[in-house]
Amino acid sequence: MSISIVSSTTLFPNPNPNLTSSSAPKHLSSSISPLTPSPKPPKPRLSLRKTSSSSSLRVRSAVAIEKETPENERPETFLRQSDGGLVSSSSSSGPGSSVRARFEKMIRDAQDSVCEAIEAADGGGTFKEDVWSRPGGGGGISRVLQDGAVWEKAGVNVSVVYGVMPPEAYRAAKGEGNSGAKAGPVPFFAAGISSVLHPKNPFAPTLHFNYRYFETDAPKDVPGAPRQWWFGGGTDLTPAYIFEEDVKHFHSVQKSACDKFDPSFYPRFKKWCDDYFYIKHRNERRGLGGIFFDDLNDYDQEMLLGFATECANSVVPAYIPIIERRKDTPFTEKHKAWQQLRRGRYVEFNLVYDRGTTFGLKTGGRMESILVSLPLTARWEYDHRPKEGSEEWKLLDACINPKEWL
């Protein structure tokens, strides 16, 4: 089987660490191996010189994963025509109003509005855009602002993937009921937005957010087996120093978004976030949390689409006011070095634990899109310990002992 995962970090990031591997993440646990191309041996004689004028790093794309085709322009949609990709969305009963189509529109709108807000707040940097597509449908838009006035690296990616999962994964996703049924591979659809924003000023926090939608077709030859769908995502804050008003503001915006849909969402997804972004070998979270959820399908689908949309729309009001307050705060080399150490933790979490990153790298996702989450710079000191009671110690304490901010 040969499928491509574009920017997997957008789509497969986030198992619930509270679930055991046998039960979660249900759509991934049994699908990883068949979705994973068998490891290719190194191609030691693949010569860089054989490429045309462009570089090196494209060489791998050409041989190790199924081709992405760079595009000069953003297409109106990455959906297949059969998904209503070319049908006007004004026909609300037509395929253009499918959840797939509306989710794609939502993430692309969110990408535009977040990038616009980032550029306005940065006041200097602009996003570089890479657009690509896959021959069989799907594609993505990567936008990166690097070495701006306020952000050292800001990436905002959207992608749409058409793939195939093995029937075991489908059965695991829908429950044990018909595990005896024979069925062929099950096509799936996934779309998501993923972003990491690393500012320069050590008092201005890093933000990550990611929202995604997943759908399987009904398997052929299994009468009555339904299609499956689920939502996942979250928004979380990673400062190097704590300003309580910032963290409270951030969490209160997340809670407001949640409370519009279900009062149980914020406490549940806040805890899920603290549990997910856990750097086990350090017994620390990477930051001060926010909300996180995955495999969400036990609510009305329209309601969850609305919820994901609300969350994505909350990114700018949750984050930009904090940046405006902190971006010009004077700092010393000591503050910067501590920020760099925390960036090192960010790298550790993403490369060691984040399912989207590790899965994406190992299956041949678009590497540059996946690794755009890494900071421009990071630092590791041997056995560094902040002085008890210091501002650095307070941040570390809050990463070890998650707090209720509201």
As annotated, the active-site residues are 208
* 168 contacts a second copy (rule: CB under 8 A): no
Nearest distance, CB of residue 57 and a second copy, angstroms: 6
Nearest distance, CB of residue 353 and a second copy, angstroms: 9
Give the nearer residue to a second copy in terms of CB position, either 137 or 386: 386
145 with 120: CB under 8 angstroms? no
Integer Cα distance of 346 and 351 in angstroms: 9
List Cα–Cα distances, 405 to 70, 93, 224, 267, in angstroms. Answer: 44, 43, 47, 11
Instruction: Please report, as residue ranges, which positions from 105 to 164 form the binding site for a second copy (by CB under 8 A).
Output: 128, 130, 144, 146, 153, 155
Instruction: Please report, as residue ranges, which positions from 1 to 20 form the binding site for a second copy (by CB under 8 A).
Output: 17-18
The candidate with the shortest Cα–Cα distance to 371, out of 357, 385, 381, 389, is 357
Nearest distance, CB of residue 125 and a second copy, angstroms: 12
Give the nearer residue to a second copy in terms of CB position, either 39 or 330: 39
* 320 contacts a second copy (rule: CB under 8 A): no
Count of residues interacting with a second copy (CB under 8 A):
71
* 24 contacts a second copy (rule: CB under 8 A): no
Task: Figure out which of the listed residues 2, 22, 39, 332 binds a second copy, where binding follows CB under 8 A.
Answer: 39
Please tell me what DSSP assigns to residue 23.
T
Nearest distance, CB of residue 56 and a second copy, angstroms: 5
Instruction: Please report, as residue ranges, which positions from 271 to 300 form the binding site for a second copy (by CB under 8 A).
Output: 274-275, 278, 280-283, 285
Please tell me what DSSP assigns to residue 15.
-
Instruction: Please report, as residue ranges, which positions from 372 to 391 form the binding site for a second copy (by CB under 8 A).
Output: 372, 374-386, 388
The candidate with the shortest Cα–Cα distance to 209, out of 125, 309, 283, 101, is 309
Nearest distance, CB of residue 304 and a second copy, angstroms: 27
Task: Figure out which of the listed residues 139, 335, 396, 405 binds a second copy, where binding follows CB under 8 A.
Answer: 396
Taking CB under 8 A as the rule, which mask of x and - marks residues 255-274 in contact with a second copy?
Answer: -------------------x
Task: Figure out which of the listed residues 2, 45, 72, 177 binds a second copy, where binding follows CB under 8 A.
Answer: 45
Give the nearer residue to a second copy in terms of CB position, either 100 or 342: 342
Nearest distance, CB of residue 36 and a second copy, angstroms: 12
Dump the DSSP string for 217-253. PPPTT-TTPPP-EEEEEEEEEE-SS--HHHHHHHHHH
Q: Give Cβ neighbours of residue 300 (< 8 Å, ≥ 6 apart).
A: none
* 48 contacts a second copy (rule: CB under 8 A): yes
361 with 353: CB under 8 angstroms? no
Please tell me what DSSP assigns to residue 386.
P
201-236 in b/e form (b: 16+ CB < 10 A) is bbbbbbbbbbbbbbbbbbbeebeebeebbbbbbbbb
- The 3-state DSSP class for residue 154 equals strand
Q: Which stretch binds a second copy (CB under 8 A): 37-45, 232-240, 296-304, 328-336?
A: 37-45
Integer Cα distance of 213 and 136 in angstroms: 19
Sheet with strand 69-71: strands edge to edge: 69-71, 128-133, 139-146, 151-165, 186-199, 206-216, 229-238, 290-296
Nearest distance, CB of residue 52 and a second copy, angstroms: 10
Q: Which stretch binds a second copy (CB under 8 A): 52-60, 84-92, 97-105, 233-241?
A: 52-60
Q: Which stretch binds a second copy (CB under 8 A): 168-176, 182-190, 257-265, 351-359?
A: 351-359
215 with 283: CB under 8 angstroms? no
Q: Which stretch binds a second copy (CB under 8 A): 47-55, 88-96, 158-166, 255-263?
A: 47-55
238 with 286: CB under 8 angstroms? yes
* Structural tokens at position 341: 């150490």
Q: Which stretch binds a second copy (CB under 8 A): 213-221, 222-230, 296-304, 367-375?
A: 367-375
Q: Given the DSSP bridges, would you call strands 278-279 and 284-285 parallel, antiparallel or unpaired?
A: antiparallel
* 333 contacts a second copy (rule: CB under 8 A): no
* 368 contacts a second copy (rule: CB under 8 A): yes
Instruction: Please report, as residue ranges, which positions from 226 to 245 form the binding site for a second copy (by CB under 8 A).
Output: none
114 with 197: CB under 8 angstroms? no
* 330 contacts a second copy (rule: CB under 8 A): no
Nearest distance, CB of residue 263 and a second copy, angstroms: 22
* 347 contacts a second copy (rule: CB under 8 A): yes
